[in-house]
Structure 1
């Protein structure tokens, strides 16, 4: 089998309402959908975490892979990716992420060629339903959605998710630059949701070490399951560990520093950002050996989410719920998407490969949205148009 073509389609996927994060208002995502075509009629699906990486796929990776055997992952990687030890230190590692998006499609082809779901190729499933969190944040109202701009509104939103969908795992950003507001909101959530619900927090590095010390002391009585990036560096997290028992997570996959410093405790990563499924499996195995946890990223579309489902199914070490913005996503590029959790879980697709199928009409619609409106920006601060925020916020 040979690769005959690689097609890249940029898409926008807006959320039903924007949410506040440290960079400003986050309205949705701009991704690149990858289709790897073969001379035997099999087509593998991949997804880049941001549209810029799709440009790298078109410019550098696609020409290198035409004629390659899609089953031979080592050969395909050697055609595209320079030594990662060098590129990681020279700012040239965009090609590693771009190849990671394509590598998903190569695994999809492998599963389709063998008629097996991806989790079977990875050793079989230890679980068939995968846990995902609900998400909450301060969200301005938009077209009948959002409007959770007070602690009371966030509490009521989470209660509705519990009552309507059986949700007991909640993660959120309480980012308004006001620690007192965060404490008040968490106190309301714990009282309303009860002692058994999981509450996880993410500040996207908004706090100084001084503020974070005080904040986490006040939050400890509310049994916080995890706090993601409360401060900006691993060194600050290590110092914060001296004052708090709350576990920390990060999106920065620097395992050596985490082990040397003793913090953070968990990594939350996109598979393409790690270089693909193969490198992700190695990273998770290293985390297990070094006593660090792992779960999956949020705000991905159905192709990447399917990869999360299969890898989580086949990986005993992924014991915590992965992140999810599923409830806020108004569309997807796969048939029957977006995924939606019920009782905190999503079933693993059982079809060959990733087990998902492109919805051509949806792909065309969201590609036209990208063409018409351009990529979605994540750093818009209405209080300071044309200016980027600086951290920490408090």
Structure 2
């Protein structure tokens, strides 16, 4: 029996803050898991160091399901993003260890590949419609088969999803206090259909087109948006309304045939059980790191399969390469895969995380290295100390706080 002999937490900031859990066994095998919760990283780091890591020492490293249940049920105070992110880090690290011991990549342990590669979408944006069109072209020229389109709303100074400068990612979190963004729902609803029309007019329908609402709308406003976007054959609109009220999606569903995706802030199967079993969504976007790891997310996707709901896992740059690699392994193995978000990481990450995934012709593959296929350099991580950053706060024009 290989027991856990050490569990250490590393906080690093190669462009973004990441929390990495490293577990070592009595056989000298190591595994890593992502414990990043954007804007609340130190809360998870403390939960791991002070409450979880001491419980791991001496446990059988290969009893992954038992360890998951022990950490979930044994805490009494269940669920929530901090708890589930910490459990996810342990879970992924143990799967990484099991793959290394078996000499197999994680997807082989999950039943093998169900497809040749994982379709991913890139993030196109622009301060103007012509800039957005140029950015869509850039992704299509690189072979992407799916593109998310976000454009600045005229009259609003800052809008979610706008990338500044070069590269494929952006960092909305900054400063020691949250920045404030303004919002006008009416202006947004009037503007979005016009730039989706421009994208389709210029590039046609030979690729998948996506859009993120980012929880900004009421259910009836979301229904209006979905209806107005029907001519442009969206692959999905994401997070159209806050999902705490799962029944709200019934109202949206009754008014539009535009596919609905939600779930990047979900922490467990209970957050989406009603949405899935009532067929109120088309894609569940829960992530490996925030929904309890591979063990729990695999169960969520298994629940979704008989209801015709497919996966669409969150994969923004606020999840470390460890989380993204684990997601690719899961994507490759499940029968009801839909789409995988892919936002490249900021420069500096490659010094800390050495990855083995590949991208070709719009498809990604996690690679065949044993485990999850990511190596963590502790010395490099130490060169990038934690930097306090907060996500923005959103306010309407009258000053009231709105969903960001």
TM bracket, shorter-chain basis: 0.7 to 0.9
> 1:87 is paired with a residue of what secondary structure?
coil
Q: C-alpha separation between the residues in 2 aligned to 1:381 and 1:240?
A: 23
Structure 2 unaligned runs (5+)?
152-158, 160-182
Instruction: Give me the TM-score of the superposition, normalised by structure 1.
Output: 0.82
Q: What does residue 165 of structure 2 align with?
A: none
Q: CA deviation at 1:378?
A: 1.1
* 1:30 lines up with 2:20 in the alignment: no
Q: Which moved more, 1:231-240 or 1:112-121?
A: 231-240
Q: C-alpha separation between the residues in 2 aligned to 1:340 and 1:135?
A: 18
Q: What does residue 129 of structure 2 align with?
A: 151
Matched ranges for 1:294-333 at <5 A: 294-299=311-316, 300-318=319-337, 320-326=338-344, 329-332=346-349, 333=352
Q: What does residue 63 of structure 1 align with?
A: 54
Q: CA deviation at 1:185?
A: 1.6
Quote the RMSD (CA, aligned, Å): 2.6
Q: C-alpha separation between the residues in 1 aligned to 2:346 and 2:296?
A: 28
Q: What does residue 67 of structure 2 align with?
A: 76
Q: What does residue 256 of structure 1 align with?
A: 273
* 1:218 lines up with 2:228 in the alignment: yes
Work out whether residues 126 and 313 of structure 1, in 8 Å CA contact, stay in contact via their aligned partners in 2: yes
Matched ranges for 1:221-236 at <5 A: 221-233=231-243, 234-236=246-248
Work out whether residues 136 and 154 of structure 1, in 8 Å CA contact, stay in contact via their aligned partners in 2: yes
Change (3 A) 1:149 1:341: farther
Q: C-alpha separation between the residues in 1 aligned to 2:400 and 2:73?
A: 33
Q: C-alpha separation between the residues in 2 aligned to 1:388 and 1:99?
A: 35
Q: What does residue 144 of structure 2 align with?
A: 167
Q: What does residue 10 of structure 1 align with?
A: 11
Q: Which moved more, 1:74-83 or 1:195-204?
A: 74-83
Structure 1 unaligned runs (5+)?
15-28, 138-147
Q: C-alpha separation between the residues in 2 aligned to 1:215 and 1:279?
A: 32
> 2:52 is paired with a residue of what secondary structure?
helix
Q: What does residue 379 of structure 1 align with?
A: 392
* 1:352 lines up with 2:370 in the alignment: yes
Change (3 A) 1:59 1:360: closer
Q: 1:107 aligns with which of 95, 98, 110?
A: 95
Aligned length: 354
Q: CA deviation at 1:154?
A: 1.1
Instruction: Give me the TM-score of the superposition, normalised by structure 2.
Output: 0.80
Q: C-alpha separation between the residues in 2 aligned to 1:55 and 1:122?
A: 31
* 1:238 lines up with 2:250 in the alignment: yes
Q: Which moved more, 1:253-262 or 1:110-119?
A: 253-262
Change (3 A) 1:210 1:269: closer
